[in-house]
């Protein structure tokens, strides 16, 4: 078993799934931080998004 296979098995055993996403360059860092937060805090969900122009929050999950 390769090092990458062991890593992926460890992540699967933690209840995580591997996904490939296309992200806008301007918010890649924030999305990465959000995902890391959600992994560390599984009782939270991302339900709101902030408009960068106006600062308003909008519900993004129905």
Task: Please enumerate in sequence order all residues whose Cβ is within 8 A of that of 37, keeping only pairs 6 or more positions apart, or say none.
Answer: 44
47 neighbors 33 (Cβ within 8 angstroms) = no
pLDDT digits (tens, 9 = 90+) for 16-57: 999 999 999 998 999 999 999 999 999 999 999 999 899 999
Supply 3's token pair.
């090092």
- pLDDT at position 61 is 83
């Amino acid at each position: 078993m390769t090092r990458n296979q062991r890593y992926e098995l460890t992540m699967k055993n933690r209840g995580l799934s591997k996904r490939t996403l296309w992200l806008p360059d301007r918010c890649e860092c924030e999305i990465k931080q959000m995902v890391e937060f959600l992994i560390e805090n599984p009782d939270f969900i991302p339900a709101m998004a902030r408009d960068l122009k106006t600062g308003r929050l909008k519900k993004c999950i129905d």
